[in-house]
Amino acid sequence: EWAWKDNADNHLIRLNGEVVFDDVSFGYRENKTVLHNISIHAKPGQKIALVGSTGSGKTTVINLLSRFYDVPAENGRILYDGVPLNEIKKDDLRRSLGMVLQDTHLFTGTIFDNIKYGNLEASRAQVLEAAKLANADGFIRHLENGYDTVISGDGANLSQGQRQLLAIARAAVANPPVLVLDEATSSIDTRTEALIQTGMDRLMKGRTVFVIAHRLSTVRNADEILVLEKGSIIERGTHESLINQKGRYYHLYTGNSISIE
Ligand X SMILES: Nc1ncnc2c1ncn2[C@@H]1O[C@H](COP(=O)(O)OP(=O)(O)OP(=O)(O)O)[C@@H](O)[C@H]1O
Residue in 12, 28, 89, 206 binding ligand X, rule: CB under 6 A: 28
Residue 41's nearest CA partner among 187, 223, 200 is: 223
Residues 139, 142, 145, 151, Cα dihedral to 10° = -40
Three-point CA angle 92, 94, 99, nearest 5°: 155
The CA distance from 178 to 42, in Å, is 10
In this structure, what are the phi and psi dihedrals at residue 35, rounded to the nearest 5 degrees? -115, 135
**Helix-helix angle 124-133:190-204, to 10 degrees:** 120
Inter-axis angle of helices 160-174 and 190-204, nearest 10: 10
Total binding residues for ligand X by CB under 6 A?
10
Q: Binding of ligand X at residue 186 (CB under 6 A)?
A: no
Among ligand X, Mg ion, none, partner that 98 touches (CB below 5 to 8 angstroms by kind): none
Choosing among Mg ion, ligand X, none, which partner's interface includes residue 28 (Cβ < 5 to 8 Å by kind)? Answer: ligand X
Interface pick for ligand X out of 23, 41, 55, 189 (rule CB under 6 A)? 55
Alpha helices in 205-230 (DSSP H): 216-221
Q: Which is nearer to ligand X, 58 or 116 (CB)?
A: 58
Stretch that binds Mg ion, among 52-60, 109-117, 152-160, 253-261 (CB under 5 A): 52-60
Q: Check binding of 192 to Mg ion (CB under 5 A).
A: no
Q: Least distance in Å: CB of 4 to ligand X?
A: 28
Candidate residues 46, 59, 102, 126; the one interacting with Mg ion per rule CB under 5 A: 59
How many Å apart are CA 74 and CA 57, to the nearest integer? 20
Count of residues near Mg ion by CB under 5 A: 2
Is there binding between residue 102 and Mg ion (CB under 5 A)? no
* Binds ligand X by CB under 6 A, chosen from 59, 149, 160, 192: 59
Binding site for Mg ion (CB under 5 A): 58-59
